[in-house]
Amino acid sequence: MNTSLVLLECIALACERDGRTLFEKLDLSISAGNVVQIEGPNGCGKTTFLRALTTLLPDYEGKIQWRGESIRRVRQAYLSNLLFIGHLPGVKNTLTPRENLAFLSSLHHQVGLSEIDAALAQVGLYGYEDMPGHQLSAGQLRRIALARLYLSRAQIWVLDEPYTAIDKQGVANLEALFVEHANQGGCVIMTSHQSPSIKQLQQVILQDYSPIHKDLKTKAGLG
């Protein structure tokens, strides 16, 4: 696999919200095989940055390119190569893990029942597959969303705080999965306040642009 292939490129990205600069002059290039952690204090625009990457936030300046094409132009193809798991897991608590996962993955491609059960087993929900969501814990509900990673064929994973409410063993499993995905030519972009123990991890630090630090120049770049 060609791991130097540039998948995503942000060029002079800037975003302003309610008159407050969240980030500006952000240049970033993410290649196949990268695991990128976006870091920074609360409210510095990590989620906003991820939402811009997923096309959920159209209101930014600069360019985001996927394989050299603006993501606005090739939106449909880009979306089929993108898996986004946000703060909100998109899981219904009236449905069972099996039904939830079947629905979420069918938004991308058809998945068989045996694959769904295998993915649920991977995140430790085997045995709970027919239990309605309101009987599951917050961590278990998040695990349903994370089970999508095992079913995904998407090359770009954008994950907002994937470790929230996940136990130590779960975090270790996720890290192993990220490494495997990167080695197969994918890339992972995530935010987290923990420091993952992944060898090829690259960190991007978003500067805090709160009014006090306004004179600071952006230092965002690959760490």
Q: What are the residues binding another protein (CB under 8 A)?
A: 54-59, 67, 74, 76-77, 79-82, 84, 86-95, 99, 103-104, 106-110, 132, 153-155
Closest to another protein by CB, 78 or 175? 78
Q: Looking at the DSSP assignment, which residues form a beta bridge with residue 70?
A: 65
Write down the H helix ranges in 56-96: 75-80
Q: Which two tokens stand for residue 205?
A: 């630090």
Taking the complex as a whole, the smallest distance from the CB of residue 50 to another protein amounts, in Å, to 11
Which residue, 95 or 171, is less far from another protein as judged by CB? 95
CB of 20 to another protein, least distance (A): 16
Q: How far is the CB of 110 from another protein (least distance, A)?
A: 7
- Containing 59, the helix (H) or strand (E) segment is none
Residue placing its CB nearer to another protein in the complex, 103 or 126 = 103
Nearer to another protein, 62 or 132 (CB): 132
Q: Nearest approach, Cβ of 56 to another protein (angstroms)?
A: 6
- Give 26 or 154: the residue with its C-beta nearer to another protein: 154
Of the chain, the end-to-end C-alpha distance in Å amounts to 24
* Minimum CB–partner distance for residue 26 and another protein (Å): 20
Contacts made by residues 43-46, CB under 8 angstroms, sequence distance 24+:
43/210, 44/206, 44/207, 44/208, 44/209, 45/15, 45/17, 45/206, 45/209, 46/160, 46/191, 46/206
- Confirm if 67 and 17 have CB atoms less than 8 A apart: no
Helix axes 113-122, 97-106, angle to 10 degrees: 110
